[in-house]
A and B are shown apart, each in its own frame.
Chain A
Amino acid sequence: MKAFILAGGFATRLWPLSERRAKPLLPLAGKPLLTYVVESIPKDIPVTVSTNAVFADDMKAWAKTINDRDITISIEDAGHEGEKLGALGAVSKWLTEENIDDDLLLLAGDNYVGCSMEKFFEARGTNPLIAAHDIGDRELAKQFGTVIVENLSSSLGGGAGGGGGGKVTSFEEKPLHPKSTFVSTGWWWLPKGSLSVLKEHASKHPDNVGGVFEEFLKRGMTVDAFVFKETWHDIGSFESYLHLHREIVDGKTLADNTSSMSPNCILEGSISIGPNVKIEKSTLRDCILFGNSTITDCVLERCIIDEDCRLEGVDLTDQMLRAGTILKRP
């Protein structure tokens, strides 16, 4: 089996954090989100990460930090969003160029899945498999690919909280009126026999990964579902990133040992502090500070502060600050 991680997007909704780095390389409690994705994959499976030309060097540098894994970086020659092949197009190109004739584990580099990959693999049969999660809200479901799962049994996966396996009878990508609150998450498994359909579909619809499952169903193929109840996050926005951060950090303060805080600081909620951050006389609640910044006499609540910022005497709530921002009360 081969694993292919989709990490070629430009993450426009996460501007300005995505100005300097790919979304999967956003730090999450001390390590990039992509590292969590790779760590979830069994070690004997070779991993390829797809990226774009803009973030290629960053991705190569990141791969070097993962010592115990066989990671290849596949670079899509796209300098901006308009030049992108599309996620499915990138998979198809890689399958063709590398002449892959093996089962494929396809993963979204910007998704965090709380359940174990072993459980997902237990649900494998001979049909394409989707990891699905019940988000319990039809409004929210509009943003994702929704699935209708029938014959749901609790014999497969699902962890302590329940869940199980079943058959997908319908797949709709970002529907206006979702028929279900089960959404397709960033884990898909495709047996090698289905890859020809993927390549064919990608030639017409290169941007839509979920669309290939609609195509399977249209052709009368069976698609299996693995339903899990553990946490799942698609890091597509400021809110979802902070939400996941709160969940992972769980009310603690995680600070790099090169950073310093004066004793008169108040740190509440979930806080991550990257390297070389100096905080003095400030109050922070649920914040992420990437690194190399100075925070003096500030009150920051639900803020994400990119690198090289200098804040002095300001109160900020619900803000993402771009790298190099200087805010100083006159």
Chain B
Amino acid sequence: MRRTLLLTAWLLTDIVLFVGAYVCAYFLRVGFILSSDFPLDRYVQAVLVISPIWVAVMIGLGIFRLTRVQSDKRNILHILFACVMGLSLFTLGYYFLFGQFFSRLLLVYAGALSFVLTTIWHLAFDQWQRRILRKDPPAYPVLIVGANREAERFIRLLNDRLSPLRPVGVLDSLGSQQKEISGVPVLGKLNVLESVIKTKRPTHLIQCSNLEHTINLVSAARQHNMTYMMLPSVLGIAQKQSMDSIEGQAMITVG
């Protein structure tokens, strides 16, 4: 419910922001008058037609994913791409609707304003929504598997950055003697996995160790509709890595 409300609010505010940015661009270019040569109502009509498509592009790029870090370079590039797309669609839309072109400078203003305002709003919204999503009970409870230093570092990272993904428990196949890791309780060995899933209801299972159990952890995640993720260190990969594909076959590239 919390996630749905946040997402709905985000989508609606983005549409308002997009329309607002274009209206600001209009007044910046035309002046603070209502021109009869270039009527505001026709201009706004075109913006309103385009704004849902612009939002759809943003959704397609995964910008509205609540777990996404909005300040990430790739995310900002996606916003830029969506704004350029919005601008192109608006230009075409206005021409198709009214058979006219108009000021190029207005387009520069509209494009720049929509990108700057959207980026600032997304950065602010991200900070706010992280706090909302982490409140008890967390919207994205995370179950950590493995009680090693990698797990500890990862938990600290999630907590320090106020990630929407909040660790709620740690399981360790080797039976860690620790009671908690960075404030997150160690709940036992993997034999309690099913009961922990039932009580903690994690949305994500993140493997930080215990490589031999990968298949079974993936299987459990699949059965309980959780997202399974793994730290590269589980595979012994400490260097920079990325996901690539060769002839459509997914590959992990290291270095």
Contact = CB atoms under 8 A, between A and B. Distances in A.
Interface of A: 10-12, 15-16, 18-19, 80-82, 316, 319-322, 324-327
Nearest to B219: A325
B123 interface: no
A319 B215 contact: yes
Contact of A19 (B175, B193, B215, B222): B193
A10 B219 contact: no
A81 B193 CA distance: 13
Nearest to A79: B195
B218 to A, nearest CB: 8
Contact of B192 (A80, A321, A327): A80
10 contacts: A15-B173, A15-B216, A16-B216, A18-B191, A80-B195, A81-B188, A316-B215, A321-B215, A326-B219, A326-B222
Interface of B: 173, 175, 188-195, 213, 215-216, 219-220, 222-223
Contact of B191 (A19, A324, A325): A19
A327 to B, nearest CB: 7
Contact of B215 (A10, A12, A81, A327): A327
Q: Which of A10, A80, A322, A326 has the most CB of B within 10 A?
A: A322
Q: Sort A-B residue pairs by CB-CB distance and give the 3 closest, nearest first.
A: A325-B219, A12-B189, A15-B190
Nearest to A323: B219
Nearest to B214: A319
B189 A325 contact: no
A12 B175 contact: yes
Contact of A322 (B175, B189, B192, B216): B216
A19 B189 CA distance: 11
A12 B191 contact: yes
Contacts of A322: 216, 219-220
A320 B222 contact: no
Q: Secondary structure of the B side of the interface?
A: helix
Nearest to A14: B191
Contacts of B195: 80
A11 B173 CA distance: 11
A19 B190 CA distance: 9
A324 B219 contact: yes
A325 B192 contact: no
A318 B23 CA distance: 64
A29 B58 CA distance: 58
A22 to B, nearest CB: 11
A250 B14 CA distance: 69
Given A81-B189, A321-B216, 6 more contacts: A11-B191, A12-B190, A15-B190, A16-B216, A19-B191, A80-B188
Contact of B189 (A15, A316, A319, A326): A15
Contacts of A325: 215-216, 219
Contacts of A10: 191
B192 A16 contact: no
Contacts of B193: 15-16, 19
B220 to A, nearest CB: 7
A58 to B, nearest CB: 15
Contacts of B192: 80
Given A322-B220, A326-B222, A15 B191 contact: yes
A316 B219 CA distance: 15
B188 A16 contact: no
B190 A320 contact: no
A324 to B, nearest CB: 6
A326 to B, nearest CB: 7
Nearest to B195: A80
A144 B79 CA distance: 62
Nearest to A16: B216
A233 to B, nearest CB: 21
A326 B216 CA distance: 10
A81 B171 CA distance: 14
B186 to A, nearest CB: 12
A320 B217 CA distance: 11
Contact of A324 (B188, B189, B215, B223): B223
A251 B188 CA distance: 38
B190 A16 contact: yes
A22 B220 CA distance: 19
B170 to A, nearest CB: 15
A327 B216 CA distance: 10
Most chain B Cβ neighbours within 10 Å, of A16, A18, A82 = A16
A322 B190 CA distance: 12
Nearest to B250: A330
A80 B191 CA distance: 9
Contacts of A319: 215
Contacts of B188: 80-82
